[in-house]
Amino acid sequence: MTAPAPAPSRRTAAILFILVTALLDVMSMGIVIPVLPQLIERLAGSNASAGMWNGLFVALWAGMQFLCSPVIGSLSDRFGRRPVILVSVAGLALDYVLMALAPSLWWLAVGRILAGVTSSSFTSAFAYMADITPPEARARGYGLIGAAFSAGFVAGPLLGGVLGEISLRAPFWAAAGLSGLAFLYGLVVLPESLAPEKRMAFSWRRANPFGALRLLRSHPELSSLAGVNFLLYFAHHLFSAVFVLYAGDRYGWGAWQVGTLLALVGLMDMGVQGLLVGPVVKRIGDRRTMVVGLSFGALGVAAMGLAPTGWLFVAAMFPNALWGLAMPTIQSLMTRRVSESEQGQLQGANNSVGAIAGIVSPLFFGAVYSLSVGPRPALPFIGSAFLIGQGRLPLAECDLLIQPCELRTRDRTSPQLVERS
């Protein structure tokens, strides 16, 4: 049987902490985005070397996410969510201090490694949300976390750009301050969400990334949902890989236009995940909401690749924003298929899936884009990367493999059918 739901006031305070912490943590990451490449270039001494180092730092961060997310998740299943979240947030604050003081590229590389480890705290935050919300409300809860992420990615780079005019290191000090503030806030208000009797012994067999991924293979429905999750992450990294180059080459956009558009994307994502997910799920269910989000996302990405003008590209962003319906509902569907003591392991496995996509996708789409530009491109169309990215639509229909009428897998915590959607 599942544990009784916490008192409404206690649950509200806990949810508020998770959202505030997500906002502050993502802001702290976003603040350094405008200045990190410039700091790398200053330490490297040349633009060419900076490109190599920046790619290495991206790979280091994603690699540590892949390795450490399952460990962090399993630790939260063993010791509870509160200590793991607080230690991770405090570690992130110290990491930004380390990077603010970095005198060399190797020092900065160590900082990016630690950032990848401590940013794995998002695993525990998602598990915490699963602990304190009933299954039918989890999609809305994950949507609120997604909205907080989006708000952080809107506010962080804007603040980082302003602080970067003062000093390249000022944003790192600000990021450390925001993470420290999140730690102090959690120290005061965050209750534990996982009762001692529901905890699971720590095991390296489950905590290593390959062991955690075995959990996803333990149920047919989890495997299918994890595949959809991977495709969603994979397509999402299309934007970090080629968007700035594509917008400059095709539409002649500079930093101001790109920055404004990214802020608009963040605002639309906040609206979709914060305001639409709950009502849509209540009306049509998790599974159908997921398919709707993936379908509109694929339509938007295809339209972006085909858009001959900048204004049509902007118009394509509106259907694309609805893919924000997909991630919270995928998470919600997956949490119903594992026990309370496995929620941390599940979120760690999901983060590892995202990290794999974060390593492979930029390399893939970067290569596709490089083949579609230049005086004699191998691919005849500059928007080829976007057209390939929209291939999520037919692949997302593998959701039909997830028992469309009645999901027959039983929740490990309940003899009742998981969902009828």
313, pLDDT greater than 80 = yes
Q: Give domain status of residue 204, yes or no.
A: no
Residue 273 is part of a domain; what is its CATH number?
Answer: 1.20.1250.20
Q: Give domain status of residue 352, yes or no.
A: yes
CB contact at 8 A, 311 and 257 = no
Q: Give domain status of residue 205, yes or no.
A: no
The answer to whether the predicted template modeling score (pTM) of the entire model surpasses 0.85 is no
Going by C-alpha positions, the residue among 27, 9, 5 that lies closest to residue 189 is 9
Q: Give domain status of residue 211, yes or no.
A: no
Residue 179 to residues 94, 136, 142, 202, 244, Cα–Cα distance (Å):
9, 31, 21, 27, 28
CB contact at 8 A, 147 and 26 = no
pLDDT, one tens digit per residue, over 250-302 is 888 876 677 677 778 888 888 888 888 889 988 888 888 888 888 898 888 88
CB contact at 8 A, 159 and 27 = yes
Residue 410 or residue 68, greater confidence: 68
Residue 53 or residue 408, greater confidence: 53
Task: Examine the fold and report which residue of 139, 173, 188 is the final residue of a domain before the chain moves on.
Answer: 188
Round to the nearest angstrom and report the end-to-end CA distance of the chain: 22
Q: Give domain status of residue 98, yes or no.
A: yes
Residue 20 has what pLDDT? 78
Asked whether residue 379 falls in the same domain as residue 313, the answer is yes
Q: Give domain status of residue 254, yes or no.
A: yes
Q: Give domain status of residue 97, yes or no.
A: yes
Q: Give domain status of residue 358, yes or no.
A: yes
Phi first, then psi: give them for residue 417, nearest 5 degrees: -60, 140
Asked whether residue 249 falls in the same domain as residue 363, the answer is yes
Asked whether residue 159 falls in the same domain as residue 227, the answer is no
Asked whether residue 31 falls in the same domain as residue 176, the answer is yes
Task: Examine the fold and report which residue of 188, 205, 240 is the final residue of a domain before the chain moves on.
Answer: 188
Residues in CB range of 286: below 8 A, 6 or more apart: 139, 329, 332, 333, 419, 421
- Mean pLDDT value across residues 306-328: 89
Asked whether residue 238 falls in the same domain as residue 341, the answer is yes
Going by C-alpha positions, the residue among 291, 12, 7 that lies closest to residue 144 is 12
Asked whether residue 348 falls in the same domain as residue 421, the answer is yes
Query: For residue 315, what pLDDT band results from cuts at 50, 70 and 90?
Result: very high
Which structural domain, as residue segments, surrounds residue 379? Answer: 216-403+412-421
pLDDT, one tens digit per residue, over 27-53 is 777 777 667 767 777 887 755 556 567
Please count the structural domains in the chain. 2
Give dist(CA 387, CA 378) in Å, integer.
15
Asked whether residue 51 falls in the same domain as residue 176, the answer is yes
Asked whether residue 62 falls in the same domain as residue 176, the answer is yes
Task: Examine the fold and report which residue of 147, 169, 188 is the final residue of a domain before the chain moves on.
Answer: 188
Asked whether residue 122 falls in the same domain as residue 248, the answer is no
Asked whether residue 43 falls in the same domain as residue 148, the answer is yes
Q: Which residue has the tokens 């057209």?
A: 387
Asked whether residue 391 falls in the same domain as residue 278, the answer is yes
Query: For residue 171, what pLDDT band results from cuts at 50, 70 and 90?
Result: confident
Asked whether residue 231 falls in the same domain as residue 105, the answer is no
